[in-house]
């Protein structure tokens, strides 16, 4: 039997949730990057005007940033999981890691989401 098994199992659940979140962020980044192709095809058939080059570049950059943020989330989740596993096995009492990185990552995702919203509104209206 693994010593402190329930603590290690409790550590694994948020790690797996972070991994699923990172995969979702990366998949969304891929979708955003390929969404410009859909906009280009739709603009030709519906409005008869091509997608601007700057708009195409904006979508590509936003998609790549989301893919990179997903990768960073995966790395941070792994680091936090390993640190917590070491803390569980340690006899010393240690303070919690805090949530500054979580809040910073969430803030970056919110800002990128807002930028994508403005970009899509601009693409549809203009």
pLDDT at position 80, please? 87
pLDDT of the chain, 126 residues: tens digit per residue? 678 888 888 889 989 998 999 999 899 888 887 776 666 666 666 655 555 555 567 777 888 888 898 998 899 889 989 988 888 888 887 776 667 777 887 888 888 888 878 877 776 666
Q: Residue 33's pLDDT is what? A: 79
Whole-number pLDDT of residue 122 = 74
CA distances (Å), origin 111, targets 17, 24, 33, 63, 115 = 22, 17, 17, 14, 6
Biggest CA–CA distance in the chain, Å, is 69
Q: Which residue bears the tokens 């390993």?
A: 82
CA gap 81, 88 in Å, rounded: 11
Tokens of 101: 């990185």
pLDDT at position 106, please? 81
CA-closest candidate to residue 87, choices 77, 72, 97: 97
Alpha-carbon distance of 42 to 124, in angstroms, equals 11
Please state the domain extents for the chain: 5-125
Q: What is the pLDDT of residue 114?
A: 85
């Amino acid at each position: 039997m693994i010593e402190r098994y329930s603590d290690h199992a409790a550590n694994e659940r948020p790690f797996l949730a972070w991994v699923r979140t990172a995969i979702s962020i990366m998949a969304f980044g891929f979708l955003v990057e390929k969404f410009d192709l859909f906009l280009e095809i739709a603009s030709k058939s519906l409005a008869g005007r091509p997608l601007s080059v700057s708009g195409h570049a904006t979508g590509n950059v936003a998609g790549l940033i989301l893919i990179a943020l997903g990768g960073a989330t995966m790395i941070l989740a792994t680091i936090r999981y390993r640190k917590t596993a070491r803390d569980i096995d340690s006899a010393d009492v240690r303070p919690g890691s805090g949530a500054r990185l979580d809040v910073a990552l969430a803030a970056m995702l919110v800002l990128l989401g807002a930028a994508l919203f403005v970009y899509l509104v601009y693409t549809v209206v203009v």
